[in-house]
Amino acid sequence: MTITAKDIKTLLETRHRNNGDIFVDECKVGSSWQSGFEQHCYRLDAWAMKKSWTNPTVWGYEIKVSRSDFLNDNKWQNYLPYCTDFYFVCPKGLIAVEELDKQIGLITVQGSRLYTARKAVRRDVVIPEGLYRYLLMNRVVITREYNHENRRENSLQYWKEELKNIEDGKKLGWKIGEAIRQKVDKQVKDIEVENNRLQQQNNNLETVKLFCQQNGIDYERWLNRGKLGNLINQDHLRDFVRSLKQAGKQIDDCLTLARGLKDE
């Protein structure tokens, strides 16, 4: 996969942001509107500064993604006054350490990781005021001072809000869980009611089937016509069964009477 200058800037920014540093891409060294300064307003591909009063460190980066761009670069020396540590950054194998001045560092990119092939020699330089003025006026958003008192106040406020969010999340989770539980309970009850209804219907069908078999009635013919099914699904099942029983009793009475006459 081809590595672009944008990819390298993203990796550099991630590294410095994770360390709490200030990071600026496409960083000018001063104003480009100043009369007669346009030709000398250099632009670093990336610039970073460590947040430290006791150990100030400023990094300057020149990014190269092609061999010809590196060989034809004759202005990188002009970036040195604006950083204490200067690095070339490129895909692995594009630049050899031996090709660079011994004070210059080299960072190579392989996949999605940065590797320091050689650490830059720190130079004791005073960063020109113009660069800081450019950053302050064009690249910085002013916020209130983050002193120790503010840090404590902000920390307390942060944890109060975090705890409130956690508590709100618990309440929301409980409400959602309760709603789901109630819905599941209702579905279970509905299934139980329907199951009982079907079981009763099946029992009724078995009762009718047994009676028909006992009394010589063609159960399958009635069932295929749908008549028994209709009766089972209605409230007249008991009347139907009672009528069948009465008819069967009448048949038995007739048979008994016929046997009596035969015997006489």
Determine the average pLDDT of the residues in 7-17: 96
User: For residue 139, what pLDDT is reported?
Assistant: 87
Cβ pair 91, 108 in contact under 8 A: yes
- For residue 37, pLDDT beyond 50: no
User: For residue 26, what pLDDT is reported?
Assistant: 94
- For residue 181, pLDDT beyond 70: yes
Task: Identify the CA nearest to 3 among candidates 115, 87, 120.
Answer: 115
Cβ pair 211, 244 in contact under 8 A: yes
User: For residue 259, what pLDDT is reported?
Assistant: 65
* Least confident range of 64-73, 111-120, 205-214: 205-214
Whole-model pTM: value is: 0.54
Task: Identify the CA nearest to 82 among candidates 110, 57, 100, 107.
Answer: 57
Cβ pair 4, 65 in contact under 8 A: yes
- Alpha carbon of residue 213 to chain centroid: 65
Determine the average pLDDT of the residues in 120-142: 90
Q: Which residue has the higher pLDDT, 36 or 24?
A: 24
Looking at the chain, the whole-number percentage of residues with pLDDT higher than 70 is 72
User: For residue 225, what pLDDT is reported?
Assistant: 54
DSSP 91-155: ETTSS-GGGS-TT-EEEEEETTEEEEEEPPPP------HHHHHHIIIII--------HHHHHHHH
Work out the burial of residue 240: count CB atoms within 10 Å of its CB; fewer than 13 is exposed, 13-18 middle, 19 or more buried. middle
Instruction: Write the CA distances from 131 to 38, 46, 80, 126, integer angstroms.
Output: 14, 13, 13, 11
- For residue 240, pLDDT beyond 70: no
